[in-house]
């Protein structure tokens, strides 16, 4: 099936904004991932004719985008938790807050779906750009079960990554 990639570590913008507000009383060396994506997107499109879609992961983070894909295309998106790049500071802050980094805003990260046969070429194109140095293939598109995002956890289980209802995270930008 098609492959799902991200252009770098997720959740950095959202966690940076939360830390900068001083509400968490946590000091950390973290910067927002805010960046223009037009050049990395152009590099990907030049290298890979099989790009199915691409989008920034701003509102709702990667989880929301993947759910929108699953529902719109009536496919399943299977994500390998261990493959998702997350800065340890982001991971730690999310653990303290009880939130999943998959739902945290990214302002300079691209999520893309490409033909599975072109996944390695897409990964090389992303990593060839400074914004994509930590790009990763994080999952695959399957036919079943349609409309769901499934996360293969680090513990060997599988869980559903729901589309969140309401506003579970504070609006940060």
pLDDT in tens, 103-123: 999 999 999 999 999 999 999
**Among 21, 103, 23, which residue's Cα sits nearest to residue 67?**
103
Q: Which residue has the tokens 């802050």?
A: 93
According to CATH, the topology of domain 3-160 is Phosphoribosyl-aminoimidazole Synthetase; Chain A, domain 2 (3.90.650)
pTM here?
A: 0.92
**Among 131, 142, 143, which residue's Cα sits nearest to residue 85?**
131
Q: Taking the domains of the chain in order of start, what are their residue ranges?
A: 3-160
| Mean pLDDT, rounded, for 43-55 | 96
pLDDT in tens, 58-107: 888 999 999 999 999 999 999 999 999 999 999 998 998 889 999 999 99
Asked whether 135 and 64 are in contact (CB, 8 A), the reply is: no
pLDDT of residue 59: 82
Overall residue count recorded for the chain in this entry: 173
The Cα–Cα gap between 33 and 126 comes to 15
Q: Indicate the pairing of strand 149-152 with strand 76-80.
A: parallel
Percent with pLDDT over 90 in the chain: 72
């Amino acid at each position: 099936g098609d492959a799902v990639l991200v252009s770098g570590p997720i959740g950095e913008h959202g966690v940076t904004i939360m830390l900068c507000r001083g509400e968490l009383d946590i000091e950390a060396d973290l910067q927002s991932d805010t960046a223009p994506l037009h050049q990395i997107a152009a590099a990907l499109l030049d290298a890979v004719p099989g790009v199915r879609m691409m989008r920034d992961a701003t509102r709702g983070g990667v989880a929301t985008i993947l759910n929108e894909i699953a529902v719109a295309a009536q496919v399943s998106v299977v994500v390998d938790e261990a493959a998702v790049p997350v800065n340890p500071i982001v991971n730690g802050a999310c653990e303290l807050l009880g939130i999943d980094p998959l739902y945290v805003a990214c302002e300079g990260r691209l999520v893309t779906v490409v033909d599975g046969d072109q996944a390695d070429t897409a990964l090389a194109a992303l990593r060839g750009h400074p914004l994509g140095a930590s790009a990763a293939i994080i999952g695959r598109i399957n036919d079943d079960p349609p409309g769901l995002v499934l996360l293969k956890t680090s513990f060997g289980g599988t869980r559903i990554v729901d589309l969140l209802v309401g506003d579970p995270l504070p609006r940060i930008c």
